[in-house]
Amino acid sequence: MNPLSPFLHSIRHARFTAALAAVVALTVAGLYLFIGLARETYIEPAYALNRYLTKFNLVQPDQTELDPDLAARIRANPDVARVLPEGDLTIKAANIGGASFPFRLIGLRAEDAAAVLAQSGVSLKEGRLPAPGTNEVALSEEIALGLSLSIGDTFDRTRDEKAYSNIVSPLRLAGILSGEVRLGILSYEFLDGDEAYKELADFGLLAIAKPGREAAMESYLMESVRNSTTKTITYRYVSELTAGDQRLLYTLGFPIVLLVSAAIALTIDAINQLAFQRRLAEFGILQAVGYRTSRLVMRLATDTAGPALVGWIAGILLGWGGMAAASYAVYAPRGFAFGAMSATALLLTAAVPATVAGSALLAAVRTLGRMDPVAVVERGQLTLEGERFRPASSRSGLPRPLAPATYYRRHPRQAFTLFGATLFLILGTALLFCLFAAGADAVRPSLNNLLRMSAVSPNSGPLEAELVGLVREHPAVERTIDAYAFVPLKISIPPMFPNQPIETLCVTAADIAFLTELYHLSLAEGRLPREGTNEIVIPWAAAKNRNLRIGDVLGDPAAPAYPGAPSLPVPIAVSGIFAPAGDPAEETWFSFMSLEYVEPFRASGLSLIVVPKAGGKESLDAWLEGQIAGGGRVVLTYRNQQAAMRREMGSMLETFALMEAVITLVAALALAGLHAVFFSGREAELGVLCALGFTRTRLIGRVSAEVFALLLAAWAAATAGCLAVLLFLQYDVFAAAGLRLNFLNPVPWLATLPIPAAAFAACIVLTARALARMDPIAVIEKRM
Amino acid sequence: MLHGENLTLQYRDGEGVVEALHEISFRADDHQFIGILGPSGCGKSSLLYMLSGLRKPTRGEVYLDDRPYSRMTENERTDLRRTEFGFVFQQHFLIHYLTALENVMVSAPVQDRAHAEQAKALLAELGLEGKRHRFPHELSGGERQRVAIARAMIHRPRVIFADEPTGLLDRRTGLQVMALLRSYREQGGLIAVTHNPEILAEADLILKLRDGRIAGVEDRVSRRSAEQPA
Phi and psi at residue A391, in whole multiples of 5°? -65, 170
pLDDT (tens digit, 9 = 90+) per residue, A465-517? 888 999 999 999 999 999 998 888 878 777 666 677 888 999 999 999 999 99
**What gap in Å lies between CA A345 and CA A22, rounded to an integer?**
19
- Identify which of A286, A739, A720 has the alpha carbon closest to the alpha carbon of residue A502: A739
Give start and end residues of each alpha helix (H) in B106-218.
113-125, 141-153, 171-183
3-state secondary structure of B120: helix
C-alpha triplet A721, A724, A730: angle, nearest 5°: 145
- Give the pLDDT of residue A458: 82
Q: For residue A352, is it within any domain?
A: no
Domain boundary among A180, A209, A242: A242
Residues in B closer than 8 angstroms to A402, CB to CB, are: 106, 111
Instruction: Identify whether A7 is part of a domain.
Output: no
In a domain, B119, yes or no: yes
Let me know if residue B135 belongs to a domain. Answer: yes
Q: Point out the domain boundary residue: A216, A242, A268.
A: A242
What does pLDDT average to over chain A? Answer: 85
Per the CB < 8 A criterion, the answer to whether B92 and B147 are in contact is yes
Q: Please tell me whether the interface predicted TM-score (ipTM) of this complex is above 0.90.
A: no
Report which residue type is found at A95.
N
- C-alpha A599/C-alpha A596 separation (Å) is 5
Is the Cα dihedral A212, A218, A219, A221 positive or negative? positive
The answer as to whether A777 is a domain residue is no
Whether A648 contacts A508, CB under 8 Å: no
**B98, B103, B122, B163, best to mutate vs chain A, most A CBs in 10 Å:** B98
- Residue partners of A585: CB distance under 8 A and separation at least 6: A448
Residue B201, min C-alpha distance to chain A (Å) = 26
Measured N-to-C along each axis, helices A754-773 and A412-442 cross at an angle, to the nearest 10 degrees, of 150
Q: Is the dihedral of CA A750, A752, A755, A757 positive or negative?
A: negative
Let me know if residue B122 belongs to a domain: yes
pLDDT for A109 equals: 94
Q: Before A495, cis peptide (omega within 30)?
A: yes
Q: DSSP per residue over A119-169, as a string?
A: HHTEEEEEE-PPPTTSSEEEEEHHHHHHTT--TT-EE-TTT-TTTTTT--S
Looking at residue A160, what DSSP letter applies? -
The H or E element containing residue A154 is: strand A154-155
B124 Cα to chain A: minimum distance (Å): 16
Sign of the Cα torsion A469, A471, A476, A478 reads negative
Calpha distance A120→A54 (Å, rounded): 8
Domain that holds residue A211: 50-242
| Total domains in the fold of chain A | 2
- Residue B82 forms part of a structural domain: no
A377: how many CB neighbours lie within 10 A of its CB? 13
CA angle at residue A587 from A583 to A590, to 5 degrees? 150
- Provide the pairing of β-strand A572-578 with A535-538: parallel
Yes or no, beta carbons of A398 and B113 under 8 Å apart: yes
A776 touches chain B (CB under 8 A): yes
Half-sphere exposure of A475 (CA within 13 A, CB side): 2
For β-strands B85-88 and B159-163, DSSP reports them as parallel
- Give the per-residue pLDDT at A700: 93
Interchain pair A684, B82: CB under 8 A = no
Give CA torsion, residues A132, A137, A138, A140, to 10 deg: 150
C-beta separation of A697 from B75 below 8 A:
yes
| Residues contacting A548, CB < 8 A, separation 6+ | A489, A538, A542, A554, A561, A562, A574, A577
Helix axes A351-370, A14-42, angle to 10 degrees: 150
Confidence of residue B174 (pLDDT cuts 50, 70, 90): confident
Minimal Cα–Cα distance from A258 to chain B, Å? 34
- Measured over the CA atoms of residue B166, residue B168, residue B174 and residue B179, the dihedral's sign is negative
Find the angle CA(B86)-CA(B87)-CA(B89) to the nearest 5 degrees.
170
**How much is the pLDDT for B164?**
87
Domain end among A598, A615, A636 = A636
**Among chain A residues, CA nearest to B148:** A692
Express each pLDDT in A97-123 by its tens digit: 667 888 999 999 999 999 999 999 999
Q: What is the pLDDT of residue B213?
A: 92
In a domain, B195, yes or no: no
Residue among A732, A779, A696, A658 nearest A33 (CA): A658
Q: Which of B54, B101, B116 lies closest to A691 in CB terms?
A: B54
Given a cut of 70, whether residue B135 has pLDDT beyond it is yes
Whether A45 maps to a domain, the answer reads no
Shortest CA distance to A676 belongs to which of A593, A743, A736, A759? A759
Q: Which residues of A touch B55 (CB under 8 A)?
A: 777
- H runs (alpha helix) in A371-443: 373-379, 404-410, 412-442
Contact: B97, A391; criterion CB under 8 Å? no
Contact call for B97 and A688, based on CB within 8 A: no
Q: B116 contacts in A (CB within 8 Å)?
A: 398-399
* Rounded Cα distance, B175 and B89, in Å: 15
Cβ neighbours, 10 Å, residue B190? 28
Strands B159-163 and A136-140: unpaired
Assess if residue A300 is contained within a domain: no
DSSP summary character for residue A734: I
φ/ψ of residue A743, rounded to 5 = -70, -15
Residues in chain B: 230
Contact criterion met (CB below 8 Å) for A656 and A99: no
DSSP letter for A129, please.
Answer: P
In angstroms, the first-to-last Cα distance of chain B is 29
Residue A477 in any domain: the answer is yes
d(CA A567, CA A563): 11
Q: Using an 8 Å Cβ cutoff, are A748 and A437 in contact?
A: yes
Whether residue B9 contacts residue B43, with contact meaning beta carbons closer than 8 Å, is answered with yes
Chain A positions touching B96 (Cβ under 8 A) are: 387, 685
Tell me the DSSP string of A47-88: HHHTGGGGT-EEEEESSS---HHHHHHHHH-TTEEEEEEEEE
- Distance from B54 to chain A by nearest Cα, in Å? 7
Counted domains in chain B: 1
Q: Does the beta-carbon distance from A399 to B101 stay under 8 Å?
A: yes
Flag whether B21 is in a domain.
no
What are the angstrom distances between the C-alpha of A426 and each of A225, A235, A430, B212?
50, 39, 6, 58
Model pLDDT, residue A702: 92
> Are the Cβ atoms of A692 and B95 closer than 8 angstroms?
no
Q: B217 vs chain A: nearest CA distance in angstroms? A: 27
Would you tell me how many other CB atoms lie within 10 Å of the CB of residue B14?
Answer: 6
| Per-residue pLDDT tens over the stretch A306-329 | 888 999 999 999 999 999 999 999
Which domain range does residue B122 map to? 94-156
Cβ-Cβ contacts under 8 Å between A and B: the total is 87
Coil, helix or strand at residue A294: helix
- When pLDDT is cut at 50, 70 and 90, the band that residue B228 belongs to is low
Residue A784 confidence (pLDDT): 43
Is A144 a domain residue?
yes
Which secondary structure element, helix H or strand E, spans residue A244, and what is its range?
helix A235-278
Beta carbons within 10 angstroms of residue A557's beta carbon: 16
Which pLDDT score is estimated for A245? 74
Q: Read off the pLDDT of residues A212-227 as tens digits, 9 standing for 90 and up.
A: 999 999 999 988 888 7
Amino acid type, A569: P
The per-residue pLDDT for range A692-709, each reduced to its tens digit, is 999 999 999 999 999 999
Contact status, residue A429 vs residue A750, Cβ threshold 8 Å = no
Shortest CA distance to A382 belongs to which of A395, A373, A394?
Answer: A373
Please list the ranges in chain A whose pLDDT falls under 50.
Answer: 393-394, 784
Q: Which amino acid is at A97?
A: G
**Predicted pLDDT of residue A746:** 87
Burial grade of A85 (CB within 10 A; 0-12, 13-18, 19 or more): middle
Provide the 8-state DSSP code for A227: B
Q: Is the pTM of this model over 0.80?
A: no
The answer as to whether A742 is a domain residue is no
pLDDT in tens, B5-61: 999 998 887 778 888 899 999 888 888 999 999 988 888 989 999 999 988 999 999
